[in-house]
């Protein structure tokens, strides 16, 4: 299995985010190649052939999304990069934005060329400070260097890039909520169909891709789809950025090929659990994915098919290691408080359901749990699932089910004894 890296290929320094440094490591050549030697359809074909899947969480094939958009249908089209990284445990896109913003800018220009986009948007989290400043600086550098704007690199292709800052709403990381926000409205997700590739931003066909997904495009253009597939597995080609945190010896962002054994990654690459404690569980891809126990990750390849077979998902790549002795009741309390706080209130099952789950877990954690509370949590998680416009309510249910399925005994203990087994310990 090839272990070469495609994104984290350079040493991070004080200047590695600049255009000069980006050019020095071969940047902007893919844009020149695409504009001068390839037709838009060739770019889309390369992306399709690479088999690259979305890195935001849903793992939708990028090429299939792109193919819905017909660049020559006489309509305006839009492209949005989803840089609203907010899934708890995830900080990989921040790494790209802070250290390689030109990778995203170049990818946006290439993708816009392929999709017939005149105006593209990067929607970035409102809280990001350095990431936002570096992206803004990169966009200005790119305009000055004719990598954006009118007649890019002297070719007939023109494209403007607009950076839109969010303002603290998790739900805007959901593609249609993001578009509502870009349109200057509250970030309510929209019912589908029609799909956003048919009616998206301002009711025009719109492609929304995650920052990491887009950032792979220059590599694919430079090296070809076949070469891209040399890393990873047949169904999940390429490499994946994994951000790992929690009780882990070496937290941070790692780039690994899909299919890397889960336990080898946690124990060897990341140094295992802090303080020599045993591993209790792992949140594999953001808290909206179901936890896996230490036993379950043994020998498990990190790719979409394997994680899915194990009843979870690689999600957003936001991994959280949980040491033995951690109180799962308190952990779930933190998670459910989050979903309740972030529910946008548009759909009744999510607005009310996340609140109910939050109140139930609050009383269990406080030692006032009632018989039947575990069943009530399951009940709310189930009736939420699939009943709402977006997946936020479902995700809260997944988090609850994942922990209850595997650590239900801790909840029974808390309800029976009026206190949690591990005394609410999180650190």
Partner 1 sequence: MKRFLAELEAMKARLPAGHTSSLVMPCLHRIQDERGFVADEDIAFLAEHLGVPRVQIEEVLSFYTMFRRMPHGRHFIEVCRNVSCSMQGSEKILAHLKARLGIGPGETTPDGRITLATAECLASCGTGPVMVVDGAYRERLTEDRVDAILEELS
- Closer of 268 and 370 to partner 1 (Cβ): 268
Within 139-168, the residues that bind partner 1 by CB under 8 A are 160-162, 164-168
Q: Residue 153: which of 196, 123, 110, 184 has the closest Cα?
A: 110
Structure tokens at 304: 């979409």
Q: φ, ψ for residue 161 (rounded to 5)? A: -120, 130
In this structure, are strands 160-165 and 119-124 parallel, antiparallel, or unpaired? parallel
- Nearer to partner 1 (CB atom), residue 202 or residue 383: 202
Our CB check for partner 1 shows the closer of 55 and 94 to be 94
Shortest gap between Cβ of 98 and partner 1 (angstroms)? 10
Q: Binding residue for partner 1 (CB under 8 A) from 156, 275, 423, 427? A: 427
Q: Which stretch binds partner 1 (CB under 8 A): 44-52, 190-198, 240-248, 347-355?
A: 240-248
**CA neighbours within 13 Å on the CB side: how many for 253?**
20
Half-sphere exposure of 399 (CA within 13 A, CB side): 32
Contact track, partner 1, 269-288, x by CB under 8 A: --------------x---x-
List the beta strands (DSSP E) in 191-303. Answer: 206-210, 239-246, 252-257, 279-283, 292-293
Cβ proximity to partner 1: between 126 and 311 the closer is 126
**Least Cβ distance, residue 247 to partner 1 (angstroms):** 6
Give the shortest CB-322-to-partner 1 separation in angstroms: 7
Cβ 106 to partner 1, closest distance in Å? 17
Pick the closer one to partner 1 by CB: 131 or 221: 131
* Contact letters for partner 1, residues 71-110 (x by CB under 8 A): -----x--------xxxxxxx-xx----------------
Q: Which of the 8 DSSP states describes residue 296? A: H
Q: Does 246 bind partner 1 (CB under 8 A)?
A: yes
245 binds partner 1 per the rule CB under 8 A = yes
Token reading at 83? 């840089």
**Binding partner 1 by CB under 8 A: which of 251, 257, 349, 393?**
251
SS3 167: coil
What's the token pair of residue 9? Answer: 């290929």
126 in contact with partner 1 (CB under 8 A): yes
Q: Does 320 bind partner 1 (CB under 8 A)?
A: yes
Alpha carbon distances (Å) from 422 to 12, 207, 272, 357: 40, 46, 21, 21
User: How many positions of this chain bind partner 1 (CB under 8 A)?
Assistant: 61
The rounded radius of gyration (Å) of the Cα atoms in the chain is 22
List phi, psi (to 5°) of 92: -80, -40
Query: 208: which strand partners?
Result: 80
Nearer to partner 1, 123 or 228 (CB): 123
Interface with partner 1 (CB under 8 A), residue from 127, 230, 370, 409: 127
CB closer to partner 1, 43 vs 124: 124
Complex with partner 1: residue 38 or 138, whichever CB lies closer: 138
Distances (CA, A) of 83 to 166, 191, 197, 350, 374: 9, 22, 18, 24, 36
User: Residues with Cβ < 8 Å from 65, sequence gap 6 or more?
Assistant: 54, 197, 207, 209
Q: Quick one: the chain helix, strand, coil %, rounded to 5?
A: 45, 15, 40
Of residues 171-190, which lie at the interface with partner 1 (CB under 8 A)? 181-187
> What's the min distance (Å) between Cβ of 131 and partner 1?
8
Residues that bind partner 1 (CB under 8 A): 76, 85-91, 93-94, 118-119, 121, 125-130, 160-162, 164-170, 181-187, 202, 243-247, 251-253, 283, 287, 318, 320, 322, 326, 330-331, 334-335, 338, 341-342, 344, 426-427
């Amino acid at each position: 299995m090839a272990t070469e890296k495609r994104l984290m290929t350079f040493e991070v320094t004080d200047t590695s985010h600049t255009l000069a440094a980006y050019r020095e490591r071969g940047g902007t050549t893919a844009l020149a190649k695409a504009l001068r030697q390839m037709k838009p359809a060739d770019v889309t074909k390369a992306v399709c052939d690479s088999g690259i899947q979305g890195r935001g969480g849903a793992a939708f094939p990028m090429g299939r999304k792109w193919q819905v958009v017909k660049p020559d249908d006489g309509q305006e089209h839009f492209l949005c990069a989803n840089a609203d990284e907010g899934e708890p445990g995830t900080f990989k896109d921040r790494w790209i934005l802070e250290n390689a913003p030109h990778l995203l800018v170049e990818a946006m220009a290439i993708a816009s060329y392929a999709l017939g986009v005149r105006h593209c948007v990067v929607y970035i989290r409102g809280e990001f400070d350095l990431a936002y400043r570096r992206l803004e600086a990169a966009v200005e550098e790119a305009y000055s260097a004719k990598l954006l704007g009118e007649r890019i690199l002297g070719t007939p292709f023109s494209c403007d890039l607009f950076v839109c800052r969010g303002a603290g709403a998790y739900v805007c990381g959901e593609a249609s909520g993001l578009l509502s926000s870009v349109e200057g409205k509250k970030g309510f997700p929209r019912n589908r169909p029609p799909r956003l590739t048919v009616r998206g931003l301002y009711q025009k066909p719109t492609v929304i891709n995650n920052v990491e997904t887009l950032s792979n495009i220059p590599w694919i253009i430079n090296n070809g789809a076949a070469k891209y597939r040399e890393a990873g597995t047949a169904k999940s080609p390429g490499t994946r950025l994994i951000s790992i945190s929690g009780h882990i010896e070496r937290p941070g962002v790692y780039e690994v090929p899909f299919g890397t054994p889960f336990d080898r990654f946690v124990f060897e690459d990341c140094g295992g659990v802090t303080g020599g404690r045993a591993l209790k569980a792992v949140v594999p891809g953001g808290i909206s994915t179901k936890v896996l126990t230490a036993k379950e990750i043994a020998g498990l390849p990190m790719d979409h098919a394997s994680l899915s077979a194990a009843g979870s998902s690689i999600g957003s790549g936001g991994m959280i290691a949980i040491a033995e002795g951690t109180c799962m009741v308190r952990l779930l309390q933190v998670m459910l408080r989050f979903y309740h706080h972030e529910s946008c209130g548009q759909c009744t099952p999510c607005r009310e359901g996340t609140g109910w789950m939050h109140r139930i877990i609050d009383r269990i954690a406080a030692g006032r749990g009632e018989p039947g509370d575990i069943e009530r949590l399951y009940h709310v998680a189930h009736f939420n699932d699939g009943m709402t416009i977006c997946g936020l309510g479902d995700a809260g249910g997944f988090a609850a089910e994942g922990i209850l399925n595997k650590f239900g005994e801790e909840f029974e203990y808390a309800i029976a004894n009026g206190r949690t087994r591990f005394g609410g310990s999180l650190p």
